[in-house]
């Protein structure tokens, strides 16, 4: 398992369940067949800019990016997305394996008004917009999120 795959698994886990500690995250990774040391896990958390925030249940849990900060979202989005294109009123994102959920979550939480709905697989995200024009506008906005400083 390479670093990208391990980090993709980390993002997938913390986006689907409330993870409170590194030990808990280590255990969840191990259940997926990924054995990782504490130092490596700490480094991955730092590189992915994962932080802790209160969940809906008021429990401090790992979260990628800050809920209200576009810069963190931009970083996760830029790391996840390989390419993007439109097909009529659908925006299609091709992502690194296992990171489509992360990219999709960014789109969902940005609250783009023209988005009707999203769906993510392992490496592809479909974003349905109201019109073809909205799809082109959204594509332009999403491209700006991939600009790496």
List, for residues 76-95, the tens digit of each pLDDT value: 888 899 999 999 999 999 99
Phi/psi at 55 (5° precision) = -80, -175
pLDDT of residue 93: 97
* pLDDT of 27 above 80: yes
pLDDT of residue 54: 67
pLDDT of residue 51: 81
Instruction: Indicate whether 71 belongs to any domain.
Output: no
Instruction: Indicate whether 40 belongs to any domain.
Output: yes
Instruction: Indicate whether 22 belongs to any domain.
Output: yes
CA pair distance 46, 93, nearest whole angstrom = 25
Number of domains the chain contains:
2
Q: Based on the domain organization, do 117 and 89 belong to the same domain?
A: yes
Instruction: Indicate whether 72 belongs to any domain.
Output: no
Which of the listed residues 36, 64, 92 is the one where a domain comes to its end? 64
Which residues span the domain enclosing 114?
79-145
Which of the listed residues 64, 88, 115 is the one where a domain comes to its end? 64
């Amino acid at each position: 398992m390479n670093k990208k795959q391990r980090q993709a698994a980390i993002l997938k886990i913390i986006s689907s369940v409330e993870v409170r500690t590194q030990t808990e995250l280590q255990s969840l990774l191990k259940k997926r067949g990924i054995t990782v040391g504490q130092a490596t896990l700490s480094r991955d958390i730092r590189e992915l800019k994962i932080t802790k925030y209160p969940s809906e249940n008021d429990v401090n849990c790992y979260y990628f990016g800050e809920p209200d900060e576009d810069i963190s979202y931009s970083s996760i989005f830029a790391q996840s997305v390989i390419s993007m294109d439109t097909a009529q009123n659908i925006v299609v994102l091709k992502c690194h394996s296992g990171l489509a959920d992360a990219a999709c979550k960014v789109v969902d939480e940005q609250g783009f008004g023209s988005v009707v709905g999203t769906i993510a697989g392992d490496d592809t995200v479909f974003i349905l917009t109201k019109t073809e024009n909205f799809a082109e506008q959204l594509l332009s906005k999403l491209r700006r999120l991939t600009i790496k400083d």
